[in-house]
Amino acid sequence: MGNLTNFTEGMRAYRNGDYPAAVDILNTMTGREDLPGKLARYYCAMAHREMGIEYLEAGEFSASAGHLRKAVALIGNKAELAEYLLILYARTTQYDRYTDVAEVLSELKHDDVSARVRLAQAQWHTGRRPLAIMTLKSALREFGDKSELHLNLGLFYASREEFDTAAKHLRKAVECDCTSVAAHRHLGLIESARGKFYLATKSFQRACDLAPRNLLLTYQLCLAADAAKKTNHPMTLAMPEFNPERTDQDISDAQVKPIRQLAEYVSSEPDFIETFLALPPSDTDEELFGLVLSILQTALEYHADYADLHYYAGVASWRLGKSEQAREYAAEAVRINPRYTKALIHLSEIDAHQGEIDEAIANLQRAVLAGADFPDIHARLGDLMKQRGMNVPAKKHYTRALELKPRYPRATDGMDSLAA
């Protein structure tokens, strides 16, 4: 791993929220291509991002853009950093620059519906409104019916006061995603504009059911119901119950988005999480690996069938001293992929630690059959078999270890102990 002093100090500064210091320290390692260098680049970028967001929230847009550009230069858009630039340009009405970034994102994420929507929004704000509509219609042909595409088309047509066409697209948005609060709400507004208060009430009612804490929606529901009543369409409303106690469902997308983004990042970039898991033990393990495990658990909510995510979660749990949880994750990784050698080896380590020697031997044997024909694995099998009094097969594994790695001390010592 090389000298980790700078990385440790930089991470300490990052965790303490001293982002300028973190950048100064970690920046000394960003040119390296080894594992500490990869981590240093990522967290140096994250520190720049944090400072960029702080300046953005403070209204210091020039300073914000500078830090965000440095973050993008370090790791590209792997942490959705370009999206923060879009926010910056939108807030300062720099729509030409917004369009430039949106066009790049649309090219980079050609299969991403949201990237196409952002491009259309940028085109709309820069006055190229027919082109914006064409962009979304082209996306519909390419991606098929998507709620986000119909929702934005509906809003574009509504702003042109083409309410019938807007209503058609918003109804389609609701059909594609019946849980979209925004689609139900905007459909309610459009139906109100069309004088269809009965339909508007139904849309606002559904939106309120999905977001019972939204008082504006409740107010709009009441207005629509009152208008429907005056047009001889009285309706019975199911008013939402207001619960002041905070629940997980009340957490906004803005609050959970960063952890979801990082979860998606580790799902697609296994080298990053392996780098973290390869760090030597330290007094920061609980904090660091608690964070890693939280990210992995979030990733597993979206990718429960990824064997490697289960394996990584097992390793992180093991570093946190959660042996039972570690075994459950490792066992699930093996269930998904029975030939996953790293997971089999880790499962064997856990079994041995818990005194289940026969299970530990069986899992290592499965790992060897799956391709883990390595000297350290054979030496470990020899050790476990010797512990169980299985001297003959233990000798065979020590011998195999020495064939693969002559004068391997661990195997030599094992053979000597059998002869004693």
Query: What single string gives the DSSP state of each residue in 245-257?
Result: S--GGGS-HHHHH
Q: What single string gives the DSSP state of each residue in 324-358?
A: HHHHHHHHHHHHH-TT-HHHHHHHHHHHHHTT-HH
pLDDT at 246: 35
> Counting every residue, how long is the chain?
420
Mean pLDDT value across the chain = 79
- As a whole number of angstroms, the distance between CA 95 and CA 274 comes to 40
Least confident of 147-156, 262-271, 372-381: 262-271
Phi/psi of residue 125, each to 5°? -70, -25
Number of helices (H), then strands (E), belonging to the chain: the values are: 23, 0
- As a whole number of angstroms, the distance between CA 318 and CA 289 comes to 9
pLDDT at 119: 77
Range 346-372 average pLDDT: 94
pLDDT at 111: 63
With a cut of 80, say whether residue 261 has pLDDT above it.
no
Residue with tokens 């700078």: 6
As assigned by CATH, the class of the 258-275+286-343 domain is mainly alpha
Confidence of residue 171 (pLDDT cuts 50, 70, 90): very high
With a cut of 90, say whether residue 289 has pLDDT above it.
no
Q: What single string gives the DSSP state of each residue in 246-310?
A: --GGGS-HHHHHHHHHHHHHHHH-HHHHHHHHTSPP-TTHHHHHHHHHHHHHHHHHH-TT-HHHH
pLDDT at 383: 94
Residues 6+ apart with CB under 8 A from 58: none
Tell me the whole-structure pTM to 2 decimals.
0.46
Instruction: Estimate to the nearest angstrom the gap between the alpha carbon of 262 and the chain centroid.
Output: 4
- As a whole number of angstroms, the distance between CA 293 and CA 318 comes to 10
Contact 339, 363 (CB under 8 A): no
Confidence of residue 242 (pLDDT cuts 50, 70, 90): very low
- As a whole number of angstroms, the distance between CA 196 and CA 28 comes to 64
| CATH superfamily, region 145-233 | Tetratricopeptide repeat domain (1.25.40.10)
Confidence of residue 275 (pLDDT cuts 50, 70, 90): low
- As a whole number of angstroms, the distance between CA 70 and CA 219 comes to 45
The pLDDT tens digits of the residues spanning 70-114 come to 877 776 644 444 444 444 444 445 555 555 555 555 554 556 677
Range 314-319 average pLDDT: 92
- 175 three-class SS: helix
pLDDT at 238: 55
- As a whole number of angstroms, the distance between CA 206 and CA 420 comes to 79
- As a whole number of angstroms, the distance between CA 334 and CA 355 comes to 20
The pLDDT tens digits of the residues spanning 134-157 come to 988 988 998 899 988 999 898 888
With a cut of 50, say whether residue 54 has pLDDT above it.
yes
Location of each CATH 1.25.40.10 domain in the chain: 145-233, 258-275+286-343
Q: What single string gives the DSSP state of each residue in 111-129?
A: T-HHHHHHHHHHHHHTT-H
pLDDT at 198: 86
Q: Which fold has domain 1-92?
A: 1.25.40
pLDDT at 244: 35
Structure tokens at 97: 């620059």
Structure tokens at 228: 């429907």
Structure tokens at 298: 């979030």
pLDDT at 331: 95
DSSP 80: S
